[in-house]
Chains A and B, each alone.
Chain A
Amino acid sequence: MLIKDILLRQKSNDNLAVTFGKEKLTYRQLFEFVQKNADKLKIYASNSHNIGLLLPNSSNYIIGLFTILFLDKAAVPLEASIKKSELKNIINYCDINLIITDTKHKKLLTDVENINIFDIETNTLEINSQSCIKCDLQTHFDDVTMLMHTSGSSDKPKRVMLTNRNIISNIEANIEALNIKENDKTLISLPMYFSYCNTAQLLSHMYVGAQIVILDTIFLPHIFFSIVEKEKITNFMTVPTIIKTLLNYSNQKTIQSLKWISIGGAPIDNETFKKLIESFKDIEFIKTYGLTEASPRVSTLLSKDCRTKTASIGKPMKGIEVKIILENGNEAKEYEKGELSLKGDNVMKGYYKNTQETAKTIKDGWLHTGDIGYYDEEGFIYLSGRKKNIIISNGINIYPEEIEDVLMSHHAVEQAYVYGILNETYGEIPEAKIVIKKETAISDMELLQYCREKLSDYKIPAKIIFVDKLQYTNNMKIKRTESLNVK
């Protein structure tokens, strides 16, 4: 089965598939829109290795995604709040010759040359590239079907190659673990380009022919409760940052339809998790763990275990083998801490055009997650730290080197060091230490403004601290010693 078959096999299904504001589409209607687009774009898609998808959360996002899959190309989902320079880098790096977008986001492409643009809103195609190169089609189970965002610096982005096998296996295991059924109705508020939302929520629900409601406004607790009640939502998936805001509204009347809420994307602290369980007794909470490189879901802590194993991230899903590897390369025993590694059909093919990073991450078929953890006598897994140099803010991975590259590109900056600090709202946020060049002067606000022109907002350091010098290791790399301090 290929991912496109999720929709193909439902082409005659007249059940409601997606609700986005006042717009409602059945599976049959979704199929018809997708087929029409695919027919129109067929000639132009053939000369694009991969196809970009630059759309905010909407039913058009789903139509755009499946259009790319129907064209037998790999989709490159892009965040809608991306900055021009970031977009240009990704388009070049990911060999994108065709992009599906809307009228608003098309403006971001004004400086990009040789790219064909399909405006899904107006159904118009702008031809800017006459390339005649014929690129391969991705028609097999083990062909790459999505290049998902993870992290990386601007000159070396890390795009995760996921095949049909990777994603389908993860969808099937996820459906079984969460018991997702055709009569379920899920509410999407997470960014759909986010691997967690893409596989675990959007595609998992479409796979069983369930209904999807896409939040068409900002997430606010009252709006959430009102939509859940109005639409009779049965489940919701979110990140710790968002779920915490619901705690202030735990006196809301019981909503009968809402069976469970799944929390993932970033670690949730035990205290908040316990409070949620106590505050919303009629809702089951499920904790999940995953990473884009694993398609993404790895383990689930089901509600039946939440009270006794609160700190755990649960047990691996079906078909996923997990082991803890010690520093010396040996496999850990119970309670011994080491790097969490996993094997299964969900493990990515690799990083796009980055064999070096792929070799560092997948060894002998085992995906090394960069997360440190252990397991107990019953096989429940616990996380205790992180080996990899990333900042996880509101469930999104941020690569400090990318921010450092931008800071270093400023004429007044001599050295830059970016690290994560703990933040009650976001989990972690980036902060920067800067050494400025002699005989130059710049304020933190000027430097932040410079970052804002070049980086998505969530990557902009919350604070810039000017220092006289940074600490370096013997081989002249920045000594990344900054611990996560609560802020």
Chain B
Amino acid sequence: MLNKDINNELKKIIVKNSRLKTSVANISDNSDLINDFGYDSVSLIELIVNIEQTFNITFNYDMLSIDIISNFKNLCDCIKTTLKNS
């Protein structure tokens, strides 16, 4: 999967799991899922489960700190690393 495709797919998943209304166009590298899109602990769990199912990966949970999960670019990099290692 191309990096661009991963970015786009992740944006779609973020929009789908956000409790608050948002759109793909609102998401940038610096987006903070908690502060910008109202993600909370519950929606973050749903997001992680959805990412694992969509990309067919299992995260190394030691990698998943709140700082990683809540920042778009960090989360994207985390998916890329996991895909690379799988």
Contact = CB atoms under 8 A, between A and B. Distances in A.
A217 interface: yes
B19 A220 contact: no
A245 B40 contact: no
B13 interface: no
B42 A426 contact: yes
Contacts of A217: 65-66
B22 to A, nearest CB: 8
Contacts, number: 55
Contacts of B42: 241-242, 394, 425-426
Nearest to B23: A445
B19 A429 contact: yes
A219 interface: yes
B19 A448 contact: no
Interface residues of A, number: 26
B55 to A, nearest CB: 15
B38 A218 contact: no
Contacts of A242: 42, 45
A484 interface: no
What is the interface residue range for chain B against chain A? 10 to 19
Nearest to A458: B40
B40 A462 contact: no
A226 B42 CA distance: 18
Contact of A426 (B19, B21, B59, B69): B19
A452 interface: yes
B85 interface: no
A448 B20 contact: yes
A426 B38 CA distance: 14
B20 A222 contact: no
Interface in A304-356: none
Contacts of B49: 221, 245, 248
A223 interface: yes
B48 interface: yes
A464 B20 CA distance: 10
Contacts of A460: 20, 38
B13 to A, nearest CB: 14
Interface in B26-55: 38, 40-46, 48-49
Nearest to B40: A457
Given A218-B66, A462-B19, A245 B46 contact: yes
B61 A226 contact: yes
Interface of A: 217-223, 226, 241-242, 245, 248, 394, 425-426, 429, 444-445, 448, 452, 457-458, 460, 462-464
- Give me the 10 closest cross-chain CB pairs, A-B, nearest first: A222-B61, A457-B38, A245-B45, A241-B42, A218-B66, A218-B41, A462-B19, A219-B41, A394-B42, A223-B61
